[in-house]
Structure 1
Amino acid sequence: MSYAIISVGGKQYRVREGERLLVDRLELDDGATFAPPVLLSGGDGDAQVAPAGVVVTAKVVAQAKGPKLRIGKYKKRTGYKRHTGFRASLTQIEIESIGGTSRRQAAKEPAHQKAAPETAATEAGAPAETAGGLPAGYADLTIAELKRAATGWDAAELAAALDYEKAHAKRKGALAALESAISEAES
């Protein structure tokens, strides 16, 4: 799908993947993702009205205020003058994906992780490793899971994980956990 028409706050918007737009205020926190209803999708030769299975994922970037509007009322010869102003409350959203997974997310995954086959774990209970020396499923670990799992890894796995973090993810908590696990293993 190259575009979709979605409904947000009673208004319709034509959106593309990666596009940012201002909509009426949504009661969501910054960084929250949501799936607005899809009214139409198209761009691959044919448009589909109310397509089943097409999901648009949007992320709230920030809450904002619109431009100030000045409203003046005046009636001649009566002394009646009134001035008021108005600023609309808006939400800036970014369209992350249309249809399936985001193209940006697919492009961000390293090519060697997609193609690297995993070897089977040994009978002794050692974790399965990928061809690059990383433990199996390393890219999917959260920092808390990584801290727990790093105590059971050997020096080669710790070094490979540290190199991966420095080159790709650069998560501060993961770097600190791996460095402390390496220093504990050395002592």
Structure 2
Amino acid sequence: MFAIVRTGGKQYRVAAGDKIVVEKMAGEAGDKITLDDVLLAGEGGDLKDVAGLTVAAEIIAQAKGEKVIVFKKRRRHNYRRKNGHRQRHTILRIVSIGSEEKKAKKAAAKTEDAAPAAAEA
């Protein structure tokens, strides 16, 4: 299954297990985050409904990109300015694509299965 998500003003096509580099996000390495702004989802050639669909991801690292040089010049005026910066990025690993309702149902089912087993013992 794949999804198109929007974060940092850009759109990314993701699937479970993918690693993507996005604009800086809050959090540290190892933190779990959810990307709620899902624009499109599908499997193969079929499109799925995106209502309530979320993408779960894990932050791998906070890093800096390559250096970008900014050079300004005006001819015949002895005006030259050189500046540069390194953009901050967040590297994400996509854990899963699914709806919040399905995850809640699975968690509830696990607790119900564990409760009778604990009562019998």
Which interval holds the TM-score relative to the shorter structure?
A: 0.7 to 0.9
Considering fraction of residues, name the structure with more strand: 2
CA drift at 1:55: 2.4
Cα distance in 1, alignment partners of residues 45 and 10 from structure 2: 25
CA drift at 1:44: 4.3
Matched letter for residue 7 of structure 1 = R
Cα distance in 1, alignment partners of residues 76 and 2 from structure 2: 55
- Report SS of the residue matched to 2:46: coil
Q: Where does structure 1 lack aligned partners over 5 or more consecutive residues?
A: 102-117, 122-187
Matched letter for residue 95 of structure 2 = E
Q: Where does structure 2 lack aligned partners over 5 or more consecutive residues?
A: 103-116
Tell me, yes or no, if structure 1 residue 43 matches structure 2 residue 43: yes
4+ long deviations beyond 3 Å: none
Cα distance in 1, alignment partners of residues 4 and 32 from structure 2: 18
CA drift at 1:34: 1.2
Cα deviation code 1:9-59 (max 9, x no counterpart): 22211101111111000011221111112111101442135x124321011
Q: 2:63 maps to which residue?
A: 64
Larger Rg: 1
Considering fraction of residues, name the structure with more helix: 1
Q: 1:19 maps to which residue?
A: 18
Q: 2:108 maps to which residue?
A: none
Cα distance in 1, alignment partners of residues 43 and 72 from structure 2: 47
Q: 1:82 maps to which residue?
A: 81
- Report SS of the residue matched to 1:66: strand
Matched letter for residue 40 of structure 1 = L
Instruction: Give the paired residue count.
Output: 103
Matches within 5 A, 1:4-153: 4-37=3-36, 38-48=38-48, 51-99=50-98, 120-121=120-121
- Percent identity between the two aligned chains: 39
Matched letter for residue 97 of structure 1 = S
Q: TM-score, normalised by structure 1?
A: 0.50
CA RMSD in angstroms, aligned pairs only: 2.1
Cα deviation code 1:124-175 (max 9, x no counterpart): xxxxxxxxxxxxxxxxxxxxxxxxxxxxxxxxxxxxxxxxxxxxxxxxxxxx
Q: TM-score, normalised by structure 2?
A: 0.75
CA drift at 1:77: 2.0
